[in-house]
Every structure is written in structure tokens, then in C-alpha cells.
Structure 1
Amino acid sequence: MVLVQVVPHKPLQGHKLLVLVPGGPPPSSLDRIRRAFPGLEVVCREKAWADADAAAGVPDDDWKDTTILVTGSALPTRDVAPKLQYVQLMSAGANHVLDHPMFKEPDVAFCTANGVHGPQISEWVIATFLALQHHIPQYLDQQKQGLWKRVDQPVVDSVKKRVGILGYGSIGRQVARVCTAMGMDVHAYTLHARSTPDSRRDRSYAPPGTGDVEGSFPSKWFSGSSTAEMHEFLGSDLDLLVVSLPLTPKTQGLLSKPEFEVLSKKRTFISNISRGPIVNTEDLIEALENDVIQGAALDVTDPEPLPEGHKLWNTKNLIITPHTSGLSTAYLERVLDILLLNLHQFSEGKELINKVNKKEGY
């Protein structure tokens, strides 16, 4: 975990920060940046997160001297922004910019907003899981009918249940914290082995009081890239599986019919807050309709947006939200916290926080 402190640093004289955000950034955050780096020129433009058109609403003069950029999706080409050195994305992943020419520039560092989503997404995971455990959707339907009637199904609480977290990054670590507080056991899965205390530490950004800095919540840690290693994790008596992996060519379609068959042992509930294509949609529908798994909650789908009339809309034991789990009134402030930390690192020539590994794509 990294905390934010405002300490005067090298002024970044001659550098220009361009901030492209919807609604404009909080003035208090900009004031902190200006106090810490009085020599830094700061320019703000309103731009929707998904607006990838770098030219729309951003004058050419803004781009030509920009060395640092905060953006959702809009990226210039090198000829438009010849001085750009550091891009701070507003998303937890970088999959939407991997094919952009600027991403492939070797001297331009990209950093994600990894860490800003943990609190709100962990709440979404637990809220949707408990909603189905406690039959809230049925009771909401009955409320609309003015019907006072108990659902004739058992209620299962979470104490002594087990959550498996597929991808133990900042979101997964906060899910682990919340689940542990509820009395659940935690299993974690990562691509690379985390066999030492130092390897389990979290060095990315996290809001104070959140996450799992030491990597101490999991009672068991799984790792590997083979199907057998993945199935060992999925077969470890999981009551809840949380998918929090980045979307890469290696993770696309990672969960499909063979994996659902492994999960059928406990009829595991699946929560996907990552990217839709990680889960095979047709196989998920089949698993839900045939009671292979207990239920699912999807904040992401494949396809996305989910079109009207798609079979997922009417699949049983399923909660769908339109990619909203990461929303929070504190979102932008946390992104700018990461920016401030990285401006300190940048001014001293140190490694940036949440820097994307361009080879791995995350």
C-alpha cells in the first residue's frame, strides 16, 4: 500500500500536465499538485472516459508541449504530442490501449489506476453475492406485488464459507479483506508463485485502511499457467469465485465448460468484475440453467454492451449490472492521488507506481 503525502519536490519546470477527465477534476486535488510542483504547467479539459478521439475538444497547442497526460481513452499520436513521456490511465486495465501507436512507443510510460476500484468493487461483489444468498431479487419482485410471503428456499450465510480470488491484485485483496471480516476463508490464485513474504506484498496504490498489504489473508495460495494448476484451484471447495484478472490473449475464454464442471463440486457462485470475454458466455448460460453452479453476478459481459433480447437477460440465478461496479464519487480523487505519487517518482527519475508491463499487457 502506498499513502499520499504532499511534500515539495523538484518543480518539474518545463513540464506540462494535460488532464482529460469527465466533469473536470476536483479543485482540491489540483491544488495539491500545484503546491507540490509549482513549476508544472497544468491544463484541464473535459472529456468523457470512453471518448477516444484525441482531437475532439483538445486544441493542438495543448498537445504539442504535453509531457504528462491523464486520460480515459484518448491518446494522441507521437507527431501530435512529440514530448509525451508518461500517461496516467483512469482504468484498472490497459487492454483498450494496447494496439494504439503511442502505447508502443518505448519511451512513453503507461500507468493504470490499479487500486482505486478496490473499495467499491468489493462492495459490489459482496452485495450481489448476498442478494442471491438471501433471495433479495425475489423479495423485491414480491414487494412490487404487495405480497408478504417467505421464499421457500434456504438462506445460507457466509461464515466458514470459502472464496477463491482469481487474480490477487488490488481488487482481489480488498475482496479478501471484506470476506475475511465476514468469517470466510480465502484462497488466492496468481500467475506467478508467491512463496515468500516479500513476494506477497502489495506495492501498488491502495486507499488507506484497505487491501492486503502483506498478502496475509489467503489461507492457501495457488499459482501457475497450466490447466491442471487452474483446476486445482477451482476444485478447492470454493463457495464463491471472484474473477479479477486482466483481459489478455492468455485469459480470454479462461472459464468455460471444463472449468464449470470442476466448480460443480460445490456449485460455486461466480462473480465477474473483470472483463466479459474471460468467461465463455454460452457455457455460463448452460451451467446456470442446468444448476451446475449456484448462481452468478456479472458486471461485465461478452458481448458488451449486452444487446436487448440476449439469452443472458433471462438466465436464472443471475444478476447483471452494466459495468458499474467501479463507480464511486471518490474515483477521480483516487486517480489523482496516484498521479501525485507518480509525479514525485517522475521528478526524481524513479520507477512509476502501477506501471504497465508492455510485454504482458498489464
Structure 2
Amino acid sequence: MKILFSFLPNPDQQVNLIEEFPNAEFIFQKPFDEETLKTADIFVTYGEDLQACHIASAHHLKWIMVASAGLEKMPLKEIADRNILVTNVRGIHKTPMAESILAHILSIKKSLPTIAENQRNAEWSKKVNSSELFGATALIVGPGAIGGEVARILQAFGVHTIGCNRSGESANYMNEMISFSQLDELLPTADIVLSILPSTTETRHLFTYEHFHCMKRTAIFMNFGRGDVVKEEELLRALKDECMAYAVLDVFENEPLPEGHPFWKMDNVIVSPHVSSHSSQYVVRALDIFTKNLSKWIEGNNRMENMIDLEKGY
């Protein structure tokens, strides 16, 4: 059994894998060699380096482990045609991303950007527009593992949490649930609107100017899922029209955000360069899921964690 990694775990992690699975041949290559992929049974990747042409020539490939939650850059149709199993690391982002999201919310609520600017200007000013989280309403669009963790922490601050997904079915730590079709009705009630949606045909450009226009003028809009969930020119228009107080953006339609993009200079936008999930524990948690699944794979157990429905893309 040949297992090809297209990223490099640290040397100790590589040794641990080799020792735990002595009958497997591990190959660590960044970038990976296409000839090696042709003979690999399992491919472990972040997902952005795999093309349709690779699938066509990888005749032995049976399982792709994606060390990321997003799959939108992968050739899913070609993978499905070959009936190759795909798993990912859904769930490992919840701690670092929840911490990042809460840090941004508290920073805005407690006027930390203004306080920092005053310090740079050596200005002693108590004229800051701080407010409380207590009693606020947060609308969390995409209330999966990350959204549930954010909601759990927000509830500790006395925030009312509303989850929104395609079905309206219940999700953890949500005081109430709605479906996508009810989004227009609840947006005017929310003080924080957080999108953690994946990129799918159903979610692409889900948020339009009309959605932003019906939000509270004091609301914070946050996108920490995928950039194409938002139609960027319509968000820009809404920000110029002051349809909301702030937009906190960790993801964008085109990354990296171009140098001359208006978002860089706007006072009511916080640009986070897709770093909310960064953590020293990222690879540790990813490998933990992989090793559990590899043990099941070797045993012939097909009930593996985070199996992907390739038709849905998640």
C-alpha cells in the first residue's frame, strides 16, 4: 500500500506515521511527483494541487484524504467517475476559527481599532463607541461544527443565536433555526451576521445587495466560509451605502485580494487574509483524523470519518 503526501508533516510526525503503519509505504513530496501519484493507493493533500489530468492517470488511486474542509478547487466529477473515496478534516477548524471570529467581534464591540489608532496618534480620548455583546442576536449561516462552537461561546456572553441552513433542521447551540428561504425575514433582527458556508452551486452568491440592504445599520457582517458566497461588488456597494457598520472578511472571491481593491482602504472593512483557521495544532488534528481512518481502511471498515458526498461537494 503506497501513501503519497503532497505536503510535509514535520519529521517527528512522519516518523510516527511510518512506525504506526509499518506495512505501508509513505512518500512525502512537495510538490508531488506525477509519476509517483500514478502508483499511489492513497493521496493526502490540501486539495489545491490535484487536477483532472492527475485523476485520469492515477490508476491505483482509491482514496483521497483532503487535509482541508474546502473541496471547491478539486476535480470532483472526475473523482466521482472513478468512484474514488474522498474524506476531509471537517471539524478541526472549529477551535481556531471560533477564537478568531470572537476576537474580531469583541474588538469591534469594544472599539479596539479606535483605541489602537488613538495610541498611535498619542491621543488620550475617551470618545469611543463601545457596546456590549449581552442581549445581541447572532445569525449564523452554516451552523456546522464551527458555527456551533461560535454559538456556544456567544451564548455564554448572553447572545441569542439563530442558525440558518438549507433545511432549517436543528443544529447545536442554536436558540432557533431557519432555512435559507427565511433569511430575508430574520436579517433585520440580527446584530451579527456570520457566514461559514462552503462553496456549492446552492450557496454561490447567496448573499446579494438586497440582503445587505435589509440588515441593521449597526450590524456586523462576517464571512469566514468561502468568498463566492458573497457577490463582492454588491457587498462593496452595500458598504458604501452604509447598510451595515462593519464587514469582517476572511475569505474573498479572488485570493489574494488585489493590491488596489477598495476593501484595503475602507474604514468599515477588516481584511483578514484567510488566516482564521491557522493554528499550531492544525496538522496534528488533521493527522489524527487520517490515522483513525487509515486504521479503518486497513481493517476493511468503510465507516470512516468525514466521508464526502461528491455530488453535493461536502
Q: Structure 2 regions of 5+ residues with no counterpart?
A: none
**Separation in structure 1 between the aligned mates of residue 291 and residue 29 of structure 2, nearest angstrom:** 18
Shift, 1:64, TM fit: 3.3
Q: Counterpart amino acid of 1:283?
A: E
Equivalent of residue 292 in structure 2, options 327, 341, 347: 341
- Give the aligned residue type for 1:108: I
Structure 1 equivalent of residue 162 of structure 2: 187
Q: Does 1:129 align with 2:105?
A: yes
Q: Is the 8 A contact 2:219 2:244 kept in 1?
A: yes
Measured at CA, do residues 273 and 80 of structure 1 come closer, stay the same or move farther in structure 2, by a change above 3 Å? same
Answer yes or no: is 1:18 the counterpart of 2:13: no
Secondary structure, in 3 states, of the residue corresponding to 1:192?
coil
Q: In the TM superposition, what is the alpha-carbon distance from 1:238 to its structure 2 partner?
A: 1.4
How many angstroms apart in 1 are the aligned matches of 2:159 and 2:14? 40
Instruction: Give the one of 220, 224, 228 matched to 1:273.
Output: 224
Most deviating of 88-97 and 128-137 = 128-137
- Taking a change above 3 Å as real, the CA distance of residues 79 and 286 of structure 1, as seen in their structure-2 partners, is closer
Amino acid aligned to 2:119: Q
Secondary structure of 2:205's counterpart equals coil
- Pairwise CA RMSD: 2.1
Cα contact 1:288–1:316 (8 A) shared by 2:
no
Note the residue ranges of structure 1 that are not aligned, 5 or more in a row: 1-14, 48-56, 201-214
Deviations, residues 17-71 of structure 1 (Å, cap 9, x unaligned): 11121xx213454455445433222221234xxxxxxxxx5262x3233111111
Matches within 5 A, 1:1-362: 15-21=1-7, 24-47=8-31, 57-58=32-33, 60=35, 62-72=36-46, 73-75=48-50, 77-98=54-75, 101=78, 103-150=79-126, 152-194=127-169, 200=171, 215=172, 217-223=173-179, 225-226=180-181, 229-235=182-188, 237-264=189-216, 267-347=218-298, 348-362=300-314
Number of aligned residues: 310
Tell whether the 8 Å contact from 1:112 to 1:354 is kept in structure 2 after alignment. yes
Kept in 2, the 8 Å contact 1:94–1:356? The answer is no
Distance in 1 (alpha carbons) for counterparts of 2:16 and 2:282: 17
Contact kept? 2:87, 2:307, Cα under 8 Å:
yes
Identity of aligned residues (%): 27
- Deviation (angstroms), 1:108: 0.5
Query: 1:159 offset after TM fit, Å?
Result: 1.4
Q: Would the aligned equivalents of 2:114 and 2:128 in 1 still touch at CA under 8 Å? A: no
Provide the C-alpha distance between the structure 1 equivalents of 2:100 and 2:278, rounded to a whole number of angstroms. Answer: 10
What TM-score does the superposition give when structure 1 sets the normalisation length?
Answer: 0.79
- One-letter code aligned to 1:26: N
Q: Find the aligned partners of 2:251 and 2:202 in 1 and give their Cα distance.
A: 18
* TM-aligned CA distance change 1:145 to 1:260, over 3 Å: same
How far residue 99 of structure 1 moved from its aligned partner, in angstroms, is 5.4
The verdict on how the C-alpha distance between 1:306 and 1:350 changes in structure 2, with shifts beyond 3 A counting, is same
Q: 2:164 is paired with a residue of what secondary structure? A: strand
Q: 1:286 to 1:78 in 2, by over 3 A?
A: closer
* Structure with greater helix percent: 2
Tell me how far 1:246 sits from its aligned partner: 0.6
Alignment partner of 1:361: what SS? coil
How far does residue 86 in structure 1 lie from its aligned partner after superposition? 0.8
* In structure 2, C-alpha distance between the alignment counterparts of 1:107 and 1:115, rounded to whole Å: 24
Matching residue's letter, 2:175: S
Retained in 1: the 8 A contact 2:115–2:128?
A: no
